[in-house]
Structure 1
């Protein structure tokens, strides 16, 4: 749109290296492809070991540091060690989980390493929703009516009277520096029950932004700005978006609205923005009125749409940071194209089906679903794409399809006893082989909170092995970050009925350092499995339900009985007991 940076760096692009941090098949993968195509050597730090983005041919090396298996200090020291070892020219974080810690640690980076993070003024102003709102008002950009509140001090009726129903509750920041493992969610409050549930979960939190709900369609303006001057802007609208808010699964590029662009330029000047940002709007399709919803001063989920429209935002930013010759045509008008996040859109189609079925019946819902599914075929045209699919880098797409079909298979497994039987036979074979290759392995039991299922399993196996004079190393952990929690009284009571004492148990959160290469890890449900595979390096992991043998033939997992009663937990423990008895029997045979 405006002038470019023409300073030439003597370093050729194929001699440059970049570290990209993220996990998704949208912004993260688009950034990887941008730098890979430009000839950079691309290393990544990925939060999710199962991310389809890791299959990109442009990645030279992958590292797996996340906030589940590493604490924030270990995460940052590990990343800084990578930077020290490889001396990257550029570090490109894709979300706040990397932006916040790296910004605070920027003084520790090598002098030649550039950090693709917006300037201090922009970070302070645009990562805080209340401060963003104040800047928007100062720049005469329309926003929803809103104010800061302490949730515990205002009743639902008072808020409805002031802001109407529904209304929106927003955390001031999407992530907190002290809890980067957890994203703070925006909530559309449609009832008093919604409000009370939100209040209970966030009772220890501070201020929240409340806003009147604005009915409309989502739109966005994405920009590259330097010293507060917008050099490139790209507009799109959402073709599909969840009712509860959040990212769009299907988007189309749009001509820029002059009034929106004027507002965006004013906010960029006010924040002196040097970097990338996405301005999210909502437009009432009946009146044409629009408001600014929020600003993300980083790459955004819809980045693949801009990429497909031949707008390379990461390269624009890198050229300015590294002083490279910039050949971007800033007067370029992007193509009118559409793009969808495949997995997210398939789940959105499912959600739409269920919503329409409840309101209008399954026949109407089926017709809507058929049209939506047929529209995916538009990818065969030159004006529509799938975020993960590029002909020069197709493996991430096939990995995404494989992951989705795997999830479909797991849902079918819950309904087909013969598939469960086959899975149990396969597990028995793998488990026996692992013990035969090394009979002195430690057993580690994992559930979400480490207060009900996994501590019972550890204690039950310990007591029964001890009775037989067999020494086996045992431990148990959970994924919940709060440690030192006791088992609930009802779990202690249920365990006592099976002669297990959980009275002294204190929960522990599993880190990568707690796991040994030879450990046999026993988990209990599908969520446990997904967490293990995404966040930890585990060589031998088995589901407890796969040791049920001929018992409970319909069970593919032993579900969490948290917040139930003594009888429910006792029934859960009965299942765990059967699985562990069979596990110990296999263990004895392997030692013979």
Structure 2
């Protein structure tokens, strides 16, 4: 009898790799799986393996609000197991774990191990203590980074790494590694990582190898190794991967590292291997479920099920052998990667470009052998893959003249129905930064409705950008004056979920990025883009694009579009709401 049957789990994440794979794995074991998803638009949410889904994230909620919402969910449901597939959940769950009343098992590292497992500097120190090779390097403040000086010491290109992928205080912002080939790239990196310590390392020539493990009190019981079939030049995750035999010396390095920490849990150790010299180094450790997890499960090492059995049942099931012919690809990323590679090669050598294109496309025939797998696809759970495939063509399809016009008409009709069916009390104008478009639209709406039957409405403006109290751009202040509007005292504000979902509230946006952010991270909103309300005499507008960084002429045009669309908004509100 399967002893995991009907046990419950709460899984945190949003992607089609680790998150969706963990959901499906636990569901196959008969477990009841609920999820906390960071994006409402995640295709993983269409999985039929999910019982309940909660949309909680750091875009629309403060950390304290997120923690309280998660704590309430955990106390209400008393789950048997909690698994974070994302560092944005992992760090807060360490605090939440101590606050909940239920006897829930958390798949989390011990606090004492956070440095060695997530801080790249501490990972290096721990590796060196275990006699595990790492690249030569040092830690420097970001303002001390100088390409010429460092290149003389470590060679070119340089590898620049923020010490952690996420900071606990900024869980909405992921830090990125840079392979720096020029002084210009280093200067941009310094701007993006101001006031931060940076790990500078020499570049190690070779290809990436991942060794994934499950350990209990320092002893590795399951392991799997993979390599990238295609290696992005800029670094980061690969879209296509294959199973390989485990290098005994790398597995021994993982074992030493785990024993040093007395570690219990899953982890993926990322190495770089030089096939010419046979040397290798440890790059980093991910002590959570990782992006190549679908390949490991496809090859026969079901890490989520093994972890659940270990934590809930105390069963340590050895698993060191698997299908060495297994491949897996992230479908949408692989398509984009193939296109990007083709475009880059085409400008230099068309024959080579088409040759490589055919080679990459031919690799899809491996799917017929059943050794190859698409991460998001499962016969028993097809919707995530179908939605991912549709997302590839959605923008092109929605851009067709008839469809885009019909969709715009549908959006306006739905908005009219919404405002006619409930009283409107609050009107919120929302753009990305709340320093150019939305403050002008708010002031314009207030001016045009003063003394009318809409003058009782509460009108405000917000931005999705979480840094507040920024002034309106000087160019916008000057342009607003031509409409007799004063923006000199404006201070930007961030849009929280509590404000967006206030009863009887409508939200007016400006572009497709605004629409994406609202639909991905906010719940229970009534909204429309002002672009849908631009008068027909201006032609079709899918968005009123952000004037940030654009010419004075475009800013003038942008404000004219906002002015005319606000007029249409006022006519629409007057015709469809009772006052």
The bucket for the TM-score relative to the shorter chain is over 0.9
CA distance in 2, matches of 1:484, 1:445: 17
Pick from 26, 40, 49 the counterpart of residue 58 of structure 1: 49
Greater relative contact order: 1 or 2 (C-alpha under 8 angstroms, separation 6 or more)?
1
Contact kept, 8 Å, 1:435 with 1:441, in 2: the verdict is no
Aligned twin of 2:106: 115
| SS in structure 2 at match of 1:246 | coil
Cα offset, 1:212, TM superposition: 1.1
Alignment of 1:28-427 (within 5 A): 28-110=19-101, 112-203=103-194, 205-326=195-316, 328-361=317-350, 364-410=352-398, 413=399, 419-427=403-411
Aligned twin of 1:562: 548
Cα offset, 1:469, TM superposition: 5.0
CA distance in 2, matches of 1:111, 1:105: 11
Contact kept, 8 Å, 1:89 with 1:114, in 2: the verdict is yes
Q: What TM-score comes out, normalization by structure 1 length?
A: 0.92
Q: Measured at CA, do residues 37 and 418 of structure 1 come closer, stay the same or move farther in structure 2, by a change above 3 Å?
A: closer
CA distance in 2, matches of 1:111, 1:520: 39
Contact kept, 8 Å, 2:120 with 2:199, in 1: the verdict is yes
Q: Measured at CA, do residues 11 and 260 of structure 1 come closer, stay the same or move farther in structure 2, by a change above 3 Å?
A: closer
Cα offset, 1:404, TM superposition: 2.6
| SS in structure 2 at match of 1:63 | strand
Cα offset, 1:506, TM superposition: 1.2
Aligned twin of 2:522: 536
Cα offset, 1:531, TM superposition: 0.9
Q: Which moved more, 1:139-148 or 1:536-545?
A: 536-545
CA distance in 2, matches of 1:552, 1:349: 38
Deviations 1:262-288 (A, max 9, x none): 212111111222110001112234433
Pick from 484, 489, 495 the counterpart of residue 504 of structure 1: 489
Q: Measured at CA, do residues 288 and 568 of structure 1 come closer, stay the same or move farther in structure 2, by a change above 3 Å?
A: same
Deviations 1:25-64 (A, max 9, x none): 1101111111111111111111111111112222111111
Q: Which moved more, 1:396-405 or 1:338-347?
A: 396-405
Cα offset, 1:482, TM superposition: 1.0
Pick from 523, 526, 529 the counterpart of residue 512 of structure 2: 526
Cα offset, 1:568, TM superposition: 3.4
Structure 1, unaligned runs of 5 or more: 1-9
Residues matched between the structures, number: 576
Contact kept, 8 Å, 1:491 with 1:566, in 2: the verdict is no
CA distance in 1, matches of 2:420, 2:271: 60
Cα offset, 1:520, TM superposition: 2.3
Q: Measured at CA, do residues 190 and 520 of structure 1 come closer, stay the same or move farther in structure 2, by a change above 3 Å?
A: same
| SS in structure 2 at match of 1:14 | coil
Q: Measured at CA, do residues 156 and 228 of structure 1 come closer, stay the same or move farther in structure 2, by a change above 3 Å?
A: same
Contact kept, 8 Å, 1:20 with 1:91, in 2: the verdict is yes
Contact kept, 8 Å, 1:417 with 1:553, in 2: the verdict is no
| SS in structure 2 at match of 1:31 | helix
Q: What TM-score comes out, normalization by structure 2 length?
A: 0.94
CA distance in 1, matches of 2:72, 2:462: 28
Deviations 1:307-342 (A, max 9, x none): 10121111222222223445x353533442000011
Contact kept, 8 Å, 1:281 with 1:293, in 2: the verdict is yes
Deviations 1:416-466 (A, max 9, x none): 555544343333323333333336353221111111111111111111111
CA distance in 2, matches of 1:227, 1:408: 52
